[in-house]
Amino acid sequence: MMIKAYRFIKARDYLMRAVFMLCAAFSILALACICVFLFVSGIPFIGRIGFSNFFGTTWHVDSQAYGILSMIVTSLYLTALATFIGVTTGLLTAICLFRFCPKRLIPSIRQMVNLLAGIPSVIYGLFGLIIIVPFLRDYVSPNSIGFGLLAASLVVSIMILPTIVSVSLDALNAVPRSYYEGSLALGATSEQSVFKVVVPAARSGILAAVVLAIGRAIGETMAVIMVIGNSPVMPHGLFQSVRTMTANIALGAKELGGDAATALVSTGVVLFIFTLLLNISFNLLRGGEKREKKRTQKTDT
């Protein structure tokens, strides 16, 4: 029997281990590069043009006014509204799918929801542009403007709906059946058991769905850019052309140069910091919950 030298095998093991390690390290490197490139070109700019200019309310490139406050506010409004609509509808839908709908419908609905989760955001944007905006303009809007926060929020909430339904349904299904049955055994109705026992027990999974929704809503670009109007002004109503941070970046990308282009990068830095804060707070929340679970388990035994 021919036997490969052990040293060769060992060396190959070490080599491949190093290769895999480099692959893994690539993610760290990529993240570090993103941070460095963004911060290095974005933050000094804020210092140079002045904090009050950058966080001011006027964006007027020709007169060197790069205030993005109105966009930050718009982004936050949009996120709040879209998340509220999306999460409410999505969570209620998931609860219905969990227990209050004919069993034989569930697999096909689930499959459909999963498929819809993969639809590109531009398609939602286009849907908003050719259906929702004209509809709002003709039937809802008091000032005959369809573009604006409401159109964008509706589009984004439809877009994030499949994800929310999917994630919160998983969370509900992950609750041990014995909780539900235990509640029934105490004389509660099926509805009471679901709303008072199962839903609270699934709250960490539902929280994950909410965070996912917030993340997608604040970061969404294409679907928003097509329906929100894109005027860099403070939002005062639901039917008014406004601009989010994401839209600001995307719109300027091809046209602006010099300082204005850097201002876009700085806008990106602000957006990036928002998403980082979101992730960090979610992880802290989840970490805290995990630790708590561990502790209760320990006291159990």
Partner 1 sequence: MKKNAHKRQILKFAVLKNITRAALLVSLIALVSVVAFILIRGLPHINMQLLFGEYTSRSPSLLPAITGTLYIIVISILIAAPIGIGSAIYLTEYTNSKSRLIRIVRIAVETLAGIPSIVYGIFGYLVFVVALGFRYSLIGGGMTLAIMILPVIVRSTEESLLAVPLALREGSFALGSSKVRTIFSVVLPCAASGIVTSLILAIGRVISESAALLMTIGMVVNKVPENFASPGTSLALNVYYFGSHGYPEEAAATAVVLLVLVMSINILATALGKFFGKGELAHG
Partner 2 sequence: MDSKFNITVRNCDLYYSEFQALKDVNMDIDEHEVTAFIGPSGCGKSTFIKTLNRMNDLIEDCRITGEIIIGEQDIYEKGTDVTMLRKNVGMVFQKPNPFPMTIYDNIAFAPRTFGIKKKAELDEVVERSLRQAGLWDEVRDRLRKNAMGLSGGQQQRLCIARALAAEPKILLMDEPTSALDPISTGKIEELMIELKKEYTIIIVTHNMQQATRISDKTAFFLLGEVIEYATTQELFSNPKDKRTESYITGRFG
Residues interacting with partner 2, by CB under 8 A?
A: 1-4, 6, 9
CB of 149 to partner 1, least distance (A): 18
Pick one of partner 2, partner 1, none as the site partner of residue 81 (Cβ within 5 to 8 A by kind).
none
> For residues 5 and 24, which CB has a smaller minimum distance to partner 2 in the complex?
5
26 binds partner 1 (CB under 8 A): yes
12 binds partner 1 (CB under 8 A): yes
What distance lies between CA 138 and its chain's CA centroid? Answer: 30
289 binds partner 1 (CB under 8 A): no
Q: Which of 30, 43, 140, 186 binds partner 1 (CB under 8 A)?
A: 30
SS3 sequence, 29-97?
HHHHHHHHHHHHHHHHHHHHHCHHHHCCCCEEHHHCEECCHHHHHHHHHHHHHHHHHHHHHHHHHHHHH
CB of 287 to partner 2, least distance (A): 23
> For residues 2 and 23, which CB has a smaller minimum distance to partner 1 in the complex?
23
Query: In sequence order, which residues have a C-beta less than 8 Å from that of residue 240 and are 6 or more positions away?
Result: 143, 145, 147, 148, 149, 229, 231, 233
CB of 125 to partner 1, least distance (A): 7
Residue 19, phi then psi, degrees to nearest 5? -60, -50
CB 124 within 8 A of CB 223: yes
> For residues 9 and 33, which CB has a smaller minimum distance to partner 2 in the complex?
9
Contact letters for partner 1, residues 238-267 (x by CB under 8 A):
--------x--xx--xx---------xx--
How far apart CA 229 and CA 133 sit, in angstroms, is: 10
> For residues 4 and 177, which CB has a smaller minimum distance to partner 2 in the complex?
4
> For residues 70 and 246, which CB has a smaller minimum distance to partner 1 in the complex?
246
Q: What residues between 65 and 94 interact with partner 1 by CB under 8 A?
A: 88-90, 92-93
3-class SS of residue 229: strand
Q: Which of 43, 131, 234, 284 binds partner 1 (CB under 8 A)?
A: 131
| DSSP state letters, 161-219 | HHHHHHHHHHHHHTS-HHHHHHHHHTT--HHHHIIIIIHHHTHHHHHHHHHHHHHHHHH
Q: What residues between 169 and 228 interact with partner 1 by CB under 8 A?
A: 189, 191-192, 195, 215, 218-222, 225-226
CB 86 within 8 A of CB 217: yes
How far apart CA 199 and CA 96 sit, in angstroms, is: 12
CB 169 within 8 A of CB 109: no
Contact letters for partner 1, residues 101-130 (x by CB under 8 A):
x-------x-xxxxxx-xxxxxxxxxx-xx
Pick one of partner 1, partner 2, none as the site partner of residue 1 (Cβ within 5 to 8 A by kind).
partner 2
Pick one of partner 2, partner 1, none as the site partner of residue 12 (Cβ within 5 to 8 A by kind).
partner 1
Residue 59, phi then psi, degrees to nearest 5? -115, 105
How far apart CA 234 and CA 241 sit, in angstroms, is: 9
> For residues 95 and 238, which CB has a smaller minimum distance to partner 1 in the complex?
95
